[in-house]
């Protein structure tokens, strides 16, 4: 952290006088590549709605953790999300219902369960608002450290497994004929998303998380012609909107998460106008 | 179920031997008593009405389906290891929006290096070499979702040929391919099997190509109804019964 503070001292930005702005900026610099990369696969694998459902299940996990009086509700939440993701994978592989229908079933169940547990015995809901709306400005150094660990883990996972995941996402039948265990690949990716979403949600909130998981990939897809460009654009868009959103929100006095999400939406709109129409 | 590699049995050039094969899915008997020999360098066409069990047969040969009976492979000088099977799946479609180029597709299948880092020079040359086999070098930077039916079949064929298989299996390679592309694809398969001396097994509904390209035609409807030279099968009573009375496909 001291290196980071030293770098911040060198930057001629008035907003970096504040410790919380420094933390938020560092968190964004870690989150942008993390979610930029995951976003490419979520969009290719048509799982954007699923990541949203996972966010809700993470919230339910946190509610359960709080009720159990667990010292670290996040740990309980990770376990709950993993169970949720694995159960979803299992049901999807054995049901002939469309994936979005099943996601709807799981998502509403998770949310209902979360609210039910949180309000059980007349409990107040307000203490959970942090998780639903979240605030990147309140991110703590320990949480930033955790984001860094998650980023490294995802990069390692990606460098080993991304080829197989891509093939599974674009053509499961072809993947299986090349000896790739399709079901296992899908489950692994689902589990990875579940862990990342749950670990990040308590520090940054659901709103920014979902927009960072879907919009960079969606925008990059508008203009990318191959996987390299796809990943590159996605990470660059996430970085650009993260930083610009944070700066704008500071000077205009708006919510940082919402500003970042809107900035991503703007990038999507611009790339949509320049989308590839040719081969 | 038995799968083994044998050194002979039906002469030294028998590449795939299927004996008493039957496949059940749930309680439904999809295939029963299927017997078939495919010799090295031969192009064998499987024909039959929809739901006859052609794709199921291919999946059993690929080892993707449980079966009873014997499926045995052999290839000269390669008795001690499993055969390599190249497979081109049926009607492969890609999302037109996927930002995955042909080069990326090869890289995902063949390389350990993550495709999102881009291709190394050596890998790109390797992909070009593979595409050359199907005269498709110019397709390397196209996105897979934008390829025409014929182009996509050629790309997947090139992919199935690396590493070079003993048997090449194509499930309905001609569906979604226009007449011009059809001739081109079949000429290419003919060239490939002569150049590399490998056996090719295809399923098709297009009987017009059989006479020119197939060495052997096998008519399947849950079991083998007739097998032999193309004209023999096309003029058989079993063929007439299967297709003409049902008003099925046309010759």
**What would the pLDDT profile of A212-242 be if each residue is shown by its tens digit?**
899 999 999 999 999 999 999 999 999 999 9
Separation in Å, CA of A225 to nearest CA in chain B = 5
Which residue in B has a C-alpha nearest to residue A171's C-alpha? B94
Which helix (DSSP H) or strand (DSSP E) does residue B47 occupy?
strand B43-47
Domain membership flag for residue A194: yes
Domain membership flag for residue A29: yes
Name the band, by pLDDT with cuts 50, 70 and 90, for residue A47. Answer: confident
Domain membership flag for residue B126: no
> What ipTM did this prediction achieve?
0.83
Domain membership flag for residue A279: no
Tell me the pLDDT tens digit for each residue of B151-191.
888 899 999 888 888 889 998 888 878 888 888 889 989 98
Long-range contacts (CB closer than 8 Å, 24 or more residues apart) made by B182-190: B182/B150, B182/B206, B182/B209, B184/B150, B185/B150, B185/B153, B185/B154, B185/B157, B186/B212, B186/B213, B188/B134, B188/B135, B188/B154, B188/B157, B189/B43, B189/B157, B189/B213, B190/B43
Average pLDDT of the residues in B11-33: 81
Judged by CB atoms closer than 8 Å, whether chains meet at B101 and A221 is answered as no
Q: Residue A269: what pLDDT?
A: 95
Which residue in B has a C-alpha nearest to residue A178's C-alpha? B109
Instruction: Flag whether residue A159 sits within 8 Å of chain B, measured between CB atoms.
Output: yes
DSSP secondary structure of B165-232: PSEEEEESTTTT--HHHHHHHHHHHHHHHHHH--EEEEE-S-GGGHHHH-SEEEEESSSEEEEESHHH
* Number of domains comprising chain A: 1
Domain membership flag for residue A127: yes
Q: Residue A134: what pLDDT?
A: 66
Q: Which domain holds residue B240?
A: 2-92+168-244
Domain membership flag for residue A234: yes
Asked if residue B33 lies in contact with residue B20, where contact means CB atoms within 8 angstroms, the answer is yes
* Number of domains comprising chain B: 1
**Whats the size of chain B, residue-wise?**
251
Tell me the pLDDT tens digit for each residue of A167-177.
998 888 788 87
Tell me the pLDDT tens digit for each residue of A53-65.
888 787 788 788 7
Q: Which domain holds residue A25?
A: 2-273
Domain membership flag for residue A278: no
Domain membership flag for residue B63: yes
**B176: domain CATH number?**
3.40.50.300
| Beta-bridge partner residues of B126 | none
Q: Residue B103: what pLDDT?
A: 94
Judged by CB atoms closer than 8 Å, whether chains meet at B99 and A230 is answered as yes
**A218: domain CATH number?**
1.10.3470.10
* B101 contacts in chain A (CB < 8 Å): 225-227
Judged by CB atoms closer than 8 Å, whether chains meet at B107 and A40 is answered as no
Mean pLDDT of chain A: 85
Domain membership flag for residue B22: yes
């Amino acid at each position: 952290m001291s290196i980071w503070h030293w770098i911040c001292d060198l930057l001629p930005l008035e907003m970096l006088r504040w410790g919380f702005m420094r933390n938020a900026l560092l968190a964004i610099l870690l989150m942008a590549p993390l979610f930029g990369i995951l976003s490419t696969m979520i969009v290719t694998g048509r799982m954007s709605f699923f990541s949203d459902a996972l966010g809700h299940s993470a919230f339910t996990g946190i509610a359960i953790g709080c009720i159990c009086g667990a010292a670290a509700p996040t740990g309980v939440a990770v376990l709950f999300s993993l169970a949720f993701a694995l159960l979803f994978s299992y049901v999807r592989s054995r049901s002939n219902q469309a994936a979005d229908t099943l996601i709807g079933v799981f998502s509403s169940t998770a949310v209902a369960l979360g609210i039910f547990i949180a309000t059980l015995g007349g409990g107040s809901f307000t203490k959970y608002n942090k998780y639903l709306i979240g605030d990147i400005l309140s991110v703590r150094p320990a949480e930033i450290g955790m984001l860094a660990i998650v980023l490294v883990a995802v990069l390692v996972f990606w460098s080993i497994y991304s080829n197989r995941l891509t093939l599974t996402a674009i053509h499961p039948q072809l993947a299986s004929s090349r000896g790739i265990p399709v079901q296992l690949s899908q489950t692994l990716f689902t589990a990875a998303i579940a862990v990342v979403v749950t670990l990040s949600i308590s520090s940054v909130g659901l709103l920014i998380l979902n927009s960072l998981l879907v919009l960079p990939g969606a925008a990059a897809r508008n203009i990318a012609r191959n996987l390299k460009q796809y990943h590159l654009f996605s990470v660059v868009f996430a970085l650009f909107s993260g930083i610009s959103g944070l700066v704008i929100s500071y000077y205009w006095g708006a919510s940082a998460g919402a500003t970042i999400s809107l900035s991503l939406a703007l990038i999507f709109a611009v790339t949509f106008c320049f989308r590839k129409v040719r081969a | 179920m038995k799968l083994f590699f044998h050194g002979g049995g039906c002469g030294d050039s028998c590449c795939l031997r299927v004996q008493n094969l039957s496949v059940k899915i749930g309680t439904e008997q999809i295939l029963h008593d299927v017997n078939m020999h495919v010799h090295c360098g031969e192009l064998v066409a499987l024909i039959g009405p929809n739901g006859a069990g052609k794709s199921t047969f291919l999946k059993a040969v690929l080892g993707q389906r449980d079966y009873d009976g014997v499926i045995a492979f052999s290839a000269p000088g390669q008795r001690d290891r499993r055969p390599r099977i190249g497979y081109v799946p049926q009607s492969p479609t890609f999302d037109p929006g996927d930002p995955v180029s042909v080069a990326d597709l090869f890289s995902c299948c063949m390389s350990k290096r993550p495709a999102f880092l881009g291709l190394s020079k050596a890998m790109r040359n390797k992909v070009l070499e593979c595409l050359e086999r199907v005269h498709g070098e110019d397709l390397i930077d196209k996105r897979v979702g934008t390829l025409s039916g014929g182009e996509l079949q050629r790309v997947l064929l090139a992919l199935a040929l690396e590493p070079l298989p003993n048997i090449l299996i194509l499930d309905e390679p001609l569906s979604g391919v226009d007449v011009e592309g059809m001739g081109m694809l079949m000429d290419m398969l003919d060239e490939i099997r002569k150049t590399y001396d490998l056996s090719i097994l295809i399923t098709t509904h297009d009987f017009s190509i059989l006479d020119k390209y197939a060495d052997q035609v096998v008519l399947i409807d849950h079991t083998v109804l007739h097998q032999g030279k193309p004209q023999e099968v096309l003029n058989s009573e079993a063929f007439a019964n299967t297709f003409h009375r049902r008003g099925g496909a046309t010759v």
